[in-house]
Structure 1
Amino acid sequence: MQPQVQQMLEKLEHLSPERLAEVEDFIDFLQQRDQDKHLRQDYVQASEAAFNQVWDNDDDAVYDKL
């Protein structure tokens, strides 16, 4: 086990049940935030081709220089 994880476990052992619940909620929040970030990146990547077809045209070429 990593030393940092072991240190965290030792600290967790001294927390009250209420504080442990808060820690668990925070960990869930961090995991959800990371999952949301990856999901947004996947959406961007998936939609790039469709947007390129719409945006890559002669009529809008003047905006490419902005």
Structure 2
Amino acid sequence: MESRVQQLIKKLEHLPSGRLSEVEDFIDFLSQKDREHHMRKDFAQGAEAPFQKVWDNDDDSVYDKL
């Protein structure tokens, strides 16, 4: 059975050259979207520890039950 990548390559081989530019742009868009997602996730994880002291306090514990 062919791999998914090989199937896509065969489909790409049958596209007109003008369409290949569109496919390349879309791949670049998806890659950028993934990089941004990972960057936001990493930033959120990095900010978790410093904010833990602010979030976990007795004065605000009433909000933990909401």
Task: Please give the range of the TM-score, normalised by the shorter of the 2 chains.
Answer: 0.7 to 0.9
Unaligned stretches of 5+ residues in structure 1:
none
Residue 4 (structure 1) aligns with: 4
Gaps of 5+ in 2: none
Instruction: Name the structure 2 match of 1:51.
Output: 51
Q: What's the offset of the Cα at 1:54? A: 1.0
* More helix per residue: 1
Pairing 1:29–2:29 present: yes
Q: Under a length normalisation based on structure 1, what TM-score does the superposition of the two structures give?
A: 0.86
Kindly report the root-mean-square deviation, in angstroms, between the aligned alpha carbons of the 2 structures. 1.3
State how many pairs are aligned: 65
